[in-house]
Amino acid sequence: MNRSRRPARSRCPKRRPPIPFRQRGGRPVADADSPSSNTAEAGGSPVVMAVAWLWVAVPFLYGLYQLAEKSSKLFE
């Protein structure tokens, strides 16, 4: 029977932290530091980007309007 106050050691070996990708000799998939000048790589045409932003922004703004309208009734 072990009566020491120290907790028992784990039988599993400690896991080493992963080695960064560049130190293993591999090339990075994409260089995030350099901006892309090609609009096709950056996300598509400006029309598609505008439609995508509107697709998200209109319901978001409507939700904020509803939140402000209903929360104002709590403070009357």
The pLDDT tens digits of the residues spanning 26-64 come to 665 555 555 555 545 556 899 999 999 999 999 999 999
**Pairwise CA distance, residues 74 & 16, whole Å:** 54
pLDDT band at 17 (very low <50, low <70, confident <90, very high): confident
pLDDT of residue 28: 59
pLDDT of residue 61: 98
Task: Write the CB contacts of 28 (distance below 8 Å, at least 6 apart in sequence).
Answer: 21, 22
Give this prediction's pTM: 0.42
Say whether pLDDT at 14 is over 60: yes
**Pairwise CA distance, residues 7 & 9, whole Å:** 6
